[in-house]
Amino acid sequence: MDYSLDINDKVAVVTGAGGVLCGMFSKVLAEQGAKVALLDLNQEAAQIVADEICASGGIAKAYKANVLELESLKQVHEQVLTDLGSCDILLNGAGGNNKMANTDKEYFEPGDEMDPETVSFFDLDPQGVQFVFSLNFIGTLLPTQVFAKDMIGKKNVSIINISSMNAFTPLTKIPAYSGAKAAISNFTQWLAVHFSRAGIRVNALAPGFFVTNQNRDLLFDVDGNPTARTKKILAATPMNRFGEPEELNGTLLYLLNEKMSGFVTGVVIPIDGGFSAYSGV
């Protein structure tokens, strides 16, 4: 059988495309022949990736888009339709955390609630928590509402969401981000069922620990040495290393390949070096 991926001339819309991982995904999709719309609030970052794609012979265009504003997405949708065509692949990559939704300590100790120098659970900023939930969940829901309409009546169309290992087992200090990614996994399953009779497959990647612009300062100090949190992460990862961004690409391409995964929908696939399999003993 011919298991080759055929997304030549299909239109792929990637949100958060100015980031490390989604910028890489955009390049991979373009290498496979897709015309890529790179959406990011930071259009300059997305433009750098788009320029690299075009310089390599691919087709890509960057757009400034706010995934939390429906009108912004609708306007971009109209531009994408004019420039590239209707959407066949939607990769919901926009998301992230905010320090206002983090606790300072992994474990609460009596007295923390009275310490002005410590951000305890009781000090979490409701607006920060709400922002993290919105950025991840609403930032996935709204682009899907806008771009999935293009997929109705087509064949070989897919939505790929970006979940996290946080969704399976929450990490300490980041309750809002963990909860928001759990919502993405649940939403992936819901969408998969909802669109199952319309021919739209919906799946998600759940990356383990990869070094990105968002978490670099948490993983390494100013001198480039691993932090205490990095040492804990690697001790809990059987492969004893961070993932390389390129190690996500195979799962992405598998999920987009109708010949290989045409009966796969509603799954959240861990790519984590064994983190989710390890009990710590």
User: Which of 161, 153, 235 is closest to 195 using CA atoms?
Assistant: 153
Helix (H) or strand (E) holding 31: helix 20-31
User: Which of 90, 98, 46, 118 is closest to 215 using CA atoms?
Assistant: 98
Query: For residues 172 and 178, is the Cβ–Cβ distance under 8 A?
Result: no
How far apart are the C-alpha atoms of 89 and 201, rounded to whole Å? 10
Q: Where are the alpha helices (DSSP H) in 37-124?
A: 43-55, 70-83
What are phi and psi for residue 64, nearest 5 degrees?
-80, 125
User: What three-state secondary structure class fits 10?
Assistant: coil
What residues are paired with 203 via a beta bridge? 160
Residues tagged active-site: 177
CA 39, 43, 49: angle at the middle one, nearest 5?
75
CA 46, 48, 54: angle at the middle one, nearest 5?
100
Tokens of 204: 């998600």
